[in-house]
Amino acid sequence: MYTISQLGKLFCVSRSTLLYYDSRGLFSASARSTAGYRLYSEGDRARLEKLMLFRGLGVPLDRIRRYLSRPDEGVTAILLQRMLSINGQIDTLKEQQKEILGMLEEDGELKGAKTRLPGLKGIGGKAGINAGNYKAVHRVFEKASPEAHRRFLRYLGFTAADIRMLLQKIQK
């Protein structure tokens, strides 16, 4: 049997979080000590482990409660719904990102960014980037995260045409 403090330490959550889960019908003690303290079985610990896994994935508590009350229905539906939710959030964030970048460009904040290049060359040189390997650096950056790479180049003030030309150069 586990105490509430032991489970809190085991799962790195506060006692108040576990009491909140209890009040929401997600997780409760299967026994009480003679002094009235909550005691949790191995089954309770396993249930909390599932709850914490789904919380870590961002699944809402009401969906977790439904799953825990009917585990025979499987996890596919809950995971697919969460994946769709994440995809929607990513799309929204990308749109916000584009809008912010557009606003910054309109405001002129990014128009003079190419003047930052000499300073970046100094920093790049200290990091080991030079005329001999800059293509490889851009190639790796582009492969790892094309959107972030292009956003960085736009931040520096490169136009769409400049970026296309650079991407052509690094492909060679």
> Secondary structure of the chain in the HEC alphabet?
CECHHHHHHHHCCCHHHHHHHHHCCCCCCCEECCCCCEEECHHHHHHHHHHHHHHHCCCCHHHHHHHHHCHHHCCHHHHHHHHHHHHHHHHHHHHHHHHHHHHHHHHCCCCCHHHHHHHHHHHHHHCCCCCCCHHHHHHHHHHHCHHHHHHHHHHCCCCHHHHHHHHHHHHC
Residue 96: alpha-carbon gap to chain centroid: 16
Q: Which fold has domain 4-57?
A: Multidrug-efflux Transporter Regulator; Chain: A; Domain 2 (1.10.1660)
More confident residue, 155 or 141: 141
Taking the CB of residue 112, how many other CB atoms lie within 10 A of it? 9
pLDDT at 144: 87
pLDDT in tens, 47-90: 999 999 999 999 999 999 988 888 887 888 889 999 999 999 99
- The answer to whether 138 touches 166, Cβ cutoff 8 Å, is yes
pLDDT surpassing 60 at residue 156: yes
Q: 170: pLDDT confidence band, cut at 50, 70 and 90?
A: confident
pLDDT at 158: 79
pLDDT surpassing 70 at residue 161: yes
pLDDT surpassing 70 at residue 145: yes
**Spans of all domains in the chain:** 4-57, 110-172
pLDDT in tens, 105-126: 666 655 555 555 666 666 677 7
pLDDT in tens, 7-28: 999 999 999 999 999 999 899 9
pLDDT surpassing 90 at residue 154: no
33-37, 40-44, 133-137: least confidently modelled range: 133-137
State the sign of the Cα–Cα–Cα–Cα dihedral 105, 154, 131, 164. negative
Average pLDDT over residues 20-46: 93
From residue 39, how far is each of 15, 26, 125, 135 by CA, in Å? Answer: 13, 16, 61, 61
